[in-house]
Amino acid sequence: MATVQWRMTRLLAHYQVGGPAADIEARAAALALEQSIEMPLSAVTSDYVRQQVVATVEAIRPLEPDLHRVTLGIATATVGRDVGQLMNMLFGNCSLQDDVVLCDIELPPALLATWPGPRHGLAGLRTLVGAGPRALTMTALKPQGLPPAELAALAATFATAGIDIIKDDHGIADQDYAPFAARVAACQRAVSRANARTGGHSVYAPTLSGGPRQLAAQARLVREEGLRMVLACPMLMGLPAFEELVRHDLDCAVLAHPAFGGAARIAPPLLFGRLFRLLGADATVFPNHGGRFSYSPATCAALARAALAPWQGIKPCAPVPAGGMSVERVDEMLAFYGQDVILLIGGALLAAGTALPERAREFVTRVQQAGVSTGSVVP
């Protein structure tokens, strides 16, 4: 990793940012605001916020004619101690901007010490399977759909062959055809018996899955059965849940699987319109067209329809188009979305400075007095 003179109150975040060189300084400055205070700098009155909270542009370096590496200095005070909030500060909003890729980070020592890293690590894994300084072997139990006895038979075969690590396929969760408890007991016993027979040290690693309650129950069973390794998909369970699981509920080794690492490419109407709704969101915020993000009017319309359309008795979820909206756009947005919408205006109100109370009131009045639109995108 790069050696830097740490500015102890900042972490460094490196992004690749697309777009013409003539605009890159302004683009980088906008990115710094997006990833810190998310409002116009001119509207910030607190000296502390200006000096200690607003992200700084630390470097801009050309990579290709229309591609730059932009380095931001993000205040560690904004992160606290939560990995979810770390990801939020790094890539919360700009993950939604098509021209930005988060490339790398550099954390000052005090912040880095917040997270433990691997408990066993590579050397511990080698010890676990009785290996010297060689590469290790791993395979997967599959296909899902097999009952525990058949998965266990497969595990025995692999263990007998001396494969170091035998993991569940990451698609094997807690399905009815191979419930977690029965499967884990059967596979673990099969591997232990094979080891006893061969003198080997194969390890079985089941897939953990589910929400926090199910994960905690599975971790208990893992301890009770004496398992020494598990497989987990951090992006599926959520990085904060993954972090807690590893820190508090497990002491065995942990394999991370990249499943769901590409969620950006889920169509926004599905992810933000339907899935969030399905899981219980009463309202869903999304980047409106013509704002700071790149969604098209067609995407926004589809998203609003997805959130509102009849769907087998599931209540409609309120669409909340946002991201650089202004009081001036109220009428146009109501014409576009109709009345089944929540208008979210943040920075543009604060930009009014001392006229904020009036500006906010104007926002309210415009919406309350708007006539019912007939040209809405929502049927």
Q: Which residues 226-265 are close enough to bind a copy of itself by CB under 8 A? A: 229, 232-244, 246-248, 253-265
* Beta carbon nearer to a copy of itself, 49 or 60: 49
Whose Cβ is closer to a copy of itself: residue 63's or residue 314's? 314
Site string for a copy of itself, 186-205 (x = CB under 8 A): --------------------
Nearest partner of 108 among 82, 68, 77, 85, judged by Cα: 77
The CA-based dihedral angle spanning residues 139, 143, 144, 150, taken in that order and rounded to the nearest 10 degrees: -90
Nearer to a copy of itself, 22 or 132 (CB): 132
Stretch that binds a copy of itself, among 21-29, 65-73, 130-138, 187-195 (CB under 8 A): 130-138
Q: 148-161 and 180-198 are packed helices; what angle lies between their axes, rounded to 10 degrees?
A: 30
With CB under 8 A as the contact rule, which of the stretches 4-12, 18-26, 62-70, 141-149 interacts with a copy of itself?
141-149
Task: Assess 337 for contact with a copy of itself (CB under 8 A).
Answer: yes
Of the candidates 80, 81, 28, 82, which has an alpha carbon nearest to the alpha carbon of residue 55?
28
361 binds a copy of itself (CB under 8 A): yes
Q: How far is CA 358 from the centre of its chain?
A: 38
Q: Which of 218, 286, 299, 378 binds a copy of itself (CB under 8 A)?
A: 286
Measured between alpha carbons, how far is 219 from 244 in angstroms, rounded to an integer?
12
Which range, of 4-12, 61-69, 90-98, 191-199, touches a copy of itself by CB under 8 A?
Answer: 90-98
* Residues binding a copy of itself: number (CB under 8 A): 170
Instruction: Supply 324's token pair.
Output: 């650089």
- Residue holding tokens 């972490």? 11
Q: Which is nearer to a copy of itself, 22 or 237 (CB)?
A: 237
Q: Which residue in 11, 31, 33 sits closest to 19, CA to CA?
A: 31
Q: Could you say which residues in the range 6-35 bind a copy of itself, by CB under 8 A?
A: none
**Contact letters for a copy of itself, residues 306-335 (x by CB under 8 A):** --xxxxxxxxxxx-x-------------x-
Tell me the two tokens of residue 130. Answer: 């009785």
Q: Which is nearer to a copy of itself, 22 or 34 (CB)?
A: 34
Q: Is 282 helix (H, G, I), strand (E, B) or coil?
A: coil
Question: Which residue has tokens 């953990």?
Answer: 208
What gap in Å lies between CA 308 and CA 338, rounded to an integer? 12
Does 379 participate in binding a copy of itself (rule CB under 8 A)?
Answer: no
